Amino acid sequence: MKMITCDRVTHDAAITAHPKYASFFNKKLISMMRWLCSIPLNFNIEDVNEEGTKVSSSGTSKRKRKNIKESDEDDRLQFVGEKLGEIAEALKKFNEDKTPHLYEEVMSMEFEGFDDEFLYNVFDFLGKNESEAKIFLAKKSKHKKIWLQKFTQG
Q: For residue range 69-79, what is the model confidence (pLDDT) as tens digits?
A: 677 777 888 88
Range of the domain at 90: 8-46+73-94
Q: Which helix (H) or strand (E) holds 50?
A: helix 45-50
Task: Report the distance separating Cα 141 and Cα 19, nearest Å.
Answer: 46
- Predicted confidence at residue 33, as pLDDT, reads 63
Within this chain, do residues 78 and 113 fall inside the same structural domain, yes or no?
no
Within this chain, do residues 140 and 127 fall inside the same structural domain, yes or no?
yes
- Predicted confidence at residue 59, as pLDDT, reads 53
Whether this prediction's pTM lies above 0.75 is answered by: no
Give me the residues of the chain with pLDDT under 50, please: 49-51
3 state DSSP class of 61? strand
Cα-flanking dihedrals φ and ψ of residue 2, to 5°? -105, 130
Within this chain, do residues 121 and 142 fall inside the same structural domain, yes or no?
yes
- Predicted confidence at residue 95, as pLDDT, reads 67
Task: Report the distance separating Cα 87 and Cα 85, nearest Å.
Answer: 5
Residue 117 lies in a domain: yes
Q: Which amino acid is at 67?
A: N
Cβ atoms of 91 and 120 closer than 8 Å: no
Residue 34 lies in a domain: yes
Task: Report the distance separating Cα 61 and Cα 68, nearest Å.
Answer: 21
